[in-house]
Structure 1
Amino acid sequence: MSNYTPNSDTRNTPDHYHVLGATLSITADAKTTDGEYLVLDMLVPPMFENGLHTHEQSEVFHVIEGEARLHVDGRDQTLGPGTSGYVPGGEVHGFANEGDEVCRVIAVMTPAGAEGFFREAGQPTDDRSLSEPIEPTEEMLQSLFATGDRYGFEFLGPLPERAE
């Protein structure tokens, strides 16, 4: 017999945020998963990268559409539709869409908790549409880094060139 009790938060509508040009939809968070995991449905524009960084959560990236570069511990992996990549908690990694098409990715982070970072760092939006492309300013990046510090993210600079 299961001990499962449905969470009292019965929202079926995700929260959407623009974060440095990408759109992240939070479809499950600490509140709805008893703190176990966070699920992000991401639209990643062409030529977007989130840079090298670390956080305590483990993370899985699963590509729905497009193609993405996942850089983990000095190694690159190209993910296409239907493929996944894993990042152990605390590992240096980064993610990029190096192509010309929008990439759609589901990211799962465990344990939950990083949703506060995305909510604070992003601009709320009513839908899943991409924002206009932006070139982050130094002020925007410093604000993002400071927010990241509060949530256990450490930003380490841009992704290295791909090893040939």
Structure 2
Amino acid sequence: MLGATITITADSDDTDGEFSVKDMLAPPGFENGLHTHEPSEIFHVLDGEMMLYVDGETEYLKPGMTGYVPASEPHGMRVEGDEVLRVLIVMSPAGAEDFFRAVGDPATSRDLPEPREVTDADLEGIFATGAEHGFAFLGPLPTDE
């Protein structure tokens, strides 16, 4: 999905709808923009570093650190530094994994896809599908400047 590889390791069927777990690899500079969704979300960094922006507050997470996003709070993340990020993402309740299935292209390996330019058509499709799954996209992440 837009240059990242997301593996859904537990979904609604596995957890009786309680939560979902995703294992994400993302390249340096990857950013998912400011957005909201109903499930709360936990990010646990395994490798690399990320910036997590939650409703006006910025937190930098390194391996072993965990960040939390309350339900419906405006938030987004960006990969920091030169290393690939590997992060476990838990969303509760489950269900948002259906959005990722709808917008992503099935991967044949756990490697990152070849880099490519994200088009306006890519974003329009993600925004429309996101609205169907309870996601609202609010624009780019605020800068540190």
TM-score (normalizing by structure 1): 0.87
Matches of 1:114 and 1:69 in 2, distance apart? Answer: 21
Indicate which of 63, 75, 89 corresponds to 2:45: 63
Q: Radius of gyration: which is bigger?
A: 1
* 2:64 alignment partner, SS class: coil
What residue identity is the alignment partner of 1:34?
A: D
* 2:41 alignment partner, SS class: strand
Matches of 1:75 and 1:128 in 2, distance apart? Answer: 32
Indicate which of 14, 26, 47 corresponds to 2:8: 26
Indicate which of 24, 35, 44 corresponds to 1:53: 35
Aligned-residue offset at 1:134: 2.0
Of all paired residues, the percent bearing the same amino acid is 59
Residues paired across the two proteins, number: 145
- The residue correspondences of 1:34-113 to structure 2 (distance < 5 A) are 34-113=16-95
Matches of 2:117 and 2:78 in 1, distance apart? Answer: 15
Q: Which runs of 5+ in 1 are unaligned?
A: 1-18
Q: Deviations over 1:101-124 (max 9, x none)?
A: 101000000000001100000000
- The structure 1 segments of at least 4 consecutive aligned residues displaced by more than 3 Å after TM superposition are none
Matches of 2:81 and 2:117 in 1, distance apart? Answer: 17
Indicate which of 109, 117, 132 corresponds to 1:135: 117
Q: Which runs of 5+ in 2 are unaligned?
A: none
TM-score (normalizing by structure 2): 0.98
Name the structure where helix makes up a greater proportion of residues: 2
Matches of 1:38 and 1:88 in 2, distance apart? Answer: 15
Select between 82-91 and 130-139 the one with higher mean Cα deviation: 130-139
Aligned-residue offset at 1:98: 2.5
What residue identity is the alignment partner of 2:92?
A: T
